[in-house]
Structure formats: C-alpha cells, structure tokens
Amino acid sequence: MRMPKRKSEENARANKEVDNYLSPAAVRKLQDDLRRLEDVSRPRAVTELSRTRDMGDLSENAAYSDAKGRLMGIDRRIFEIKTKLKNAVVIEQGSSDGRVSVGASVTVRVNGKEKIYEITGSQETDPGSGRISHRSPLGSALMGHLAGETVSVVNAERKEVKYEILGVE
C-alpha cells in the first residue's frame, strides 16, 4: 500500500538543501571545534570507554553503554564538521562590482527608515542583528541589484513592501 504524501513533508524535504556559504569566522570556529574534539574530547572519551569496559559484564554495564554513546556522538560531530569544512564556500566580504551578492552589506530605505543588512549563507543568519540569508524573501529579492534600484517584497500579511537600495559595500 502506498502512503499518501503530505505537502508539509514534501516542503520539509525540499528545504533541507543546505548551502555551503560560510564566513571566514565561521570556518575558523568550526576548525577550532574540530581541533578541540579531536585533541581533547575524543581521547578522554576513549579513555573512559576503556575504563568502563574493564568493569566487567558489558551487557549490564550502564557506564560502558553511556561512554560508548558519548564517543559515538563525538565521532558523529567530527564527521559533520569535516563534511562542512570540505564543502565550505568561504564568503568574500563586500561587493566587487557594486551588485548585491553573498557577503555584501546593503543599506536600504524602507518605510522612511534606513536599515543595513549583511547578506549571508543560510547557516549564519540572524535577522535581529541584520544578517539575512541570500535565500530569504528579502535577500533573494536584493541579490544582483545595484544602489539606486528599488525592489519589492511581499511580506507575511501579503502587503508589498518597497526597499530602496541606498548603498552596497
């Protein structure tokens, strides 16, 4: 029997596509985390696993199971970080040709107020501090435009909001 597909499940699967844009600071942080995991956390976990293995019957040894689970978690995190670093596309800060691109800072005027947004990869967004993804509605609308142009974005209330690009750095 074929299971029906829910729209929400299809959308979730489609949105799992992760872009690999990372700032130089994010790459350094991942490298530091990887070094810490490989040089400190993993050796400690291996030592703990050996110590608990020597306690006796492994089938009823909760400390051994816990240590084994901790080591597996560390190994999984190491694998994730190595994969992210291998596939990373380092963001160049600024705009070389004056167009909005990933890594650019964009000054816009919306509803009479000036705002500055930094266009980032989807893994580093923080809309509250002005860091928006190039895949967000506003970020994708701004991409490729120059200072002096106006872009329109439909917000959650289905109202069209106009953003005038004042500068791209």
pLDDT of residue 2: 61
Distance CA 162, CA 169 (A): 20
H/E element holding 84?
Answer: helix 62-87
Averaged pLDDT, 1-15: 59
- With 80 as the cut, is the pLDDT of residue 166 above it? yes
Residue 50: C-alpha distances to residues 56, 77, 130 (Å): 11, 21, 48
Q: Which residues pair with 162 in a beta bridge?
A: 152
Q: What is the pTM of this model?
A: 0.75
The 3-state DSSP class for residue 86 equals helix
pLDDT of residue 10: 60
Averaged pLDDT, 43-57: 90
